[in-house]
Amino acid sequence: KQEVTQIPAALSVPEGENLVLNCSFTDSAIYNLQWFRQDPGKGLTSLLLIQSSQREQTSGRLNASLDKSSGRSTLYIAASQPGDSATYLCAVDAGNNRKLIWGLGTSLAVNP
Amino acid sequence: NAGVTQTPKFQVLKTGQSMTLQCAQDMNHNSMYWYRQDPGMGLRLIYYSASEGTTDKGEVPNGYNVSRLNKREFSLRLESAAPSQTSVYFCASRTGVNEQYFGPGTRLTVT
């Protein structure tokens, strides 16, 4: 059974730091992995989707990597800003009728 | 292009009352989903519809019913609300193995 874990559960950093959020999954047979952002009281916004054949995806200051063999993905945020404060969730698509398997998220606080 | 819309945004029900949460998407997506989100539990799938005319149970379907009215609309019904159904409900849609898009959510309180 596919399980997704995100460590740490919470992270607090000063503004300007580069940081890495981690996502691990137990079964390497995935179609893709998706990173989302959720602001308090809001819905989820898709940040990056990495297909199983890809190693990384980049969008602005965000870079997501995927290592299927080790069951890991990282989300790298460069030069963090207070506006990056949110919860970041990862989800894997294992192809089971298009259902996603979710991690519990990492709550990020970037302090001015 | 509104994306995924949900109504209502907030709702308070008494135990035993019924209600329907509405969801619509204008992205021509085949698959639609209903999730609930609770503190410490993460996102849990209630029901999903892989394509128009089909629906399937997710992890936590008890106490809920769904209708895929057409390709655009997917509704979630609580027939007899219970306090355990107090949660934030999200609708989402996607096509194939592409990105999943979410609505803004409905905050439901059952007293």
- Give residue-wise pLDDT tens across range B4-59: 999 999 999 999 999 999 999 999 999 999 999 998 888 999 999 998 989 999 99
Residue B2 has pLDDT above 90, yes or no: no
Burial A21-32 (b: 16+ CB within 10 A, else e): bebbbeeeebeb
Looking at residue A110, its pLDDT comes to 97
Q: Does A89 touch chain B (CB under 8 A)?
A: yes
Looking at residue A41, its pLDDT comes to 87
| CB hemisphere CA count around A40 (13 angstroms) | 5
Burial A66-103 (b: 16+ CB within 10 A, else e): bebeebbbbbebeebeeebbbbbbbbbbbeeebbbbbb
Residue A98 has pLDDT above 70, yes or no: no
CA atoms of A56 and A72, how far apart (whole Å): 12
Looking at residue A90, its pLDDT comes to 97
Interface test with A, best of B21, B30, B89, B98 (most A CBs within 10 A): B98
Distances (CA, A) of A83 to A15, A16, A38, A111, B56: 10, 11, 12, 10, 38
Peptide bond before residue A8 is cis, with ω within 30 degrees of 0: yes
Strands A86-93 and A32-38: antiparallel
Cβ contacts (< 8 Å) between B104 and chain A: which residues? 42-43
Nearest-CA neighbor of B21 among B29, B10, B37? B10
Question: Tell me, what amino acid is at B23?
Answer: C
pLDDT digits (tens, 9 = 90+) for B87-108: 999 999 998 778 899 999 999 9
Q: In whole angstroms, what separates CA A29 from the centre of its chain?
A: 18
Contact A74, A21 (CB under 8 A): yes
CB atoms within 10 A of CB B20: 13
Contact A57, A48 (CB under 8 A): yes
CA atoms of A110 and B3, how far apart (whole Å): 29
Contact B92, B101 (CB under 8 A): yes
Mean pLDDT of A42-52: 93
Residues 6 or more apart whose CB falls under 8 angstroms from that of B88 comprise B36, B37, B38, B105, B106, B107, B108
Mean pLDDT of A25-52: 93
Looking at residue B85, its pLDDT comes to 97
Residue A84 has pLDDT above 90, yes or no: yes
Check A98 against B104: CB less than 8 A apart.
Answer: no
Looking at residue B46, its pLDDT comes to 96
Check B42 against A104: CB less than 8 A apart.
Answer: yes
